[in-house]
Amino acid sequence: MKTGRWLSTAFGFVFLASITCLEQKVLSFSGNERHASPRSVELLPLRNPAKPTELEQAYLDSFSILKYKSPCSEFYGGSSAIAALNELTQQIRPTHLDRLIGIRMSGETTIIMSMLTGFTFRLFKKAEINLDGPFYRGNAFFGLERAPQIGPFEPNTREARVTTVLHELGHLIRGRDGQWLLPNDGENAGESEANTRRVLNVCGEEIRALHNISFEEELLGAQSAASLRPHAFNPSEE
Ligand SMILES: [Zn+2]
């Protein structure tokens, strides 16, 4: 345990996404762009399906929430958003950051279009997951070194982790109005908290229901659902 390196005091907030690059150079198709592979909405292989890592667990939970129609899935643009989830997940690298940070995305952005669905999203150059933050670290004894909660969820819990991933995903996808689902929150804890509330407003029900399903069941469901046609905003094609 590395609790000795944590500083004290309790914070009711967390920088879920410290987007440090304020000058995003590419927000249109004029610069960096590429295509995601046609397989981009299928479940990524897990290193050890019998024992998924914390990140793989959060990925499985996010995948399972996005794949079926729900207000949460529709907020992200339907199951086509799995393409963005897959790219983000593959990009994430572990690092050591301030204990308030869950995942940090930074650097230039690239616009990516799924060849399968036409679904478009952006990726930041870097996505780092904090080994010292609330994704992995729970609360120490008696609150002396409290890690921040993620919304109402204790740190280092299934719910906190999936909320963190869904929060990041909201920075990568545009809504119908053309704006990013979640505005950049950079180093601003208040804005980050507000973004987490936005996620929980649409996805809280799905997140709270996760305890009813095991990762094994999710894995089976995800694999069987991988061959389904992705659904998008408009159900008229189905
Ligand atoms: Zn954020």
The ranges assigned to domains in the chain are: 6-225
pLDDT of residue 53: 97
Tell me how far apart the alpha carbons of residues 54 and 31 are, in angstroms, rounded to a whole number.
34
Q: How far is the CA of 195 from the centre of ligand 1 (A)?
A: 6
pLDDT of residue 114: 85
pLDDT of residue 141: 57
Question: How many CB atoms neighbour CB 206 within 10 A?
Answer: 20
Q: How far is the CA of 161 from the centre of ligand 1 (A)?
A: 14
Q: How far is the CA of 87 from the centre of ligand 1 (A)?
A: 17
pLDDT of residue 47: 94
Q: How far is the CA of 183 from the centre of ligand 1 (A)?
A: 7
Q: How far is the CA of 173 from the centre of ligand 1 (A)?
A: 12
CA distances from 148 to 63, 138, 182, 224 (A): 25, 9, 20, 36
Q: How far is the CA of 179 from the centre of ligand 1 (A)?
A: 14
For the chain, which residues score pLDDT lower than 50? 1-30, 232-238
Q: How far is the CA of 50 from the centre of ligand 1 (A)?
A: 31
pLDDT of residue 35: 78
Q: How far is the CA of 95 from the centre of ligand 1 (A)?
A: 18
Q: How far is the CA of 220 from the centre of ligand 1 (A)?
A: 31
CA 204, distance to chain mean position in Å, is: 14
pLDDT of residue 33: 75
The two tokens of residue 165 are 């991933």
pLDDT of residue 205: 97
pLDDT of residue 218: 94
pLDDT of residue 15: 40
This prediction's pTM: 0.81
135-190: per-residue pLDDT in tens? 999 876 555 567 789 999 999 999 999 999 999 999 999 999 999 999 999 878 89
pLDDT of residue 26: 34
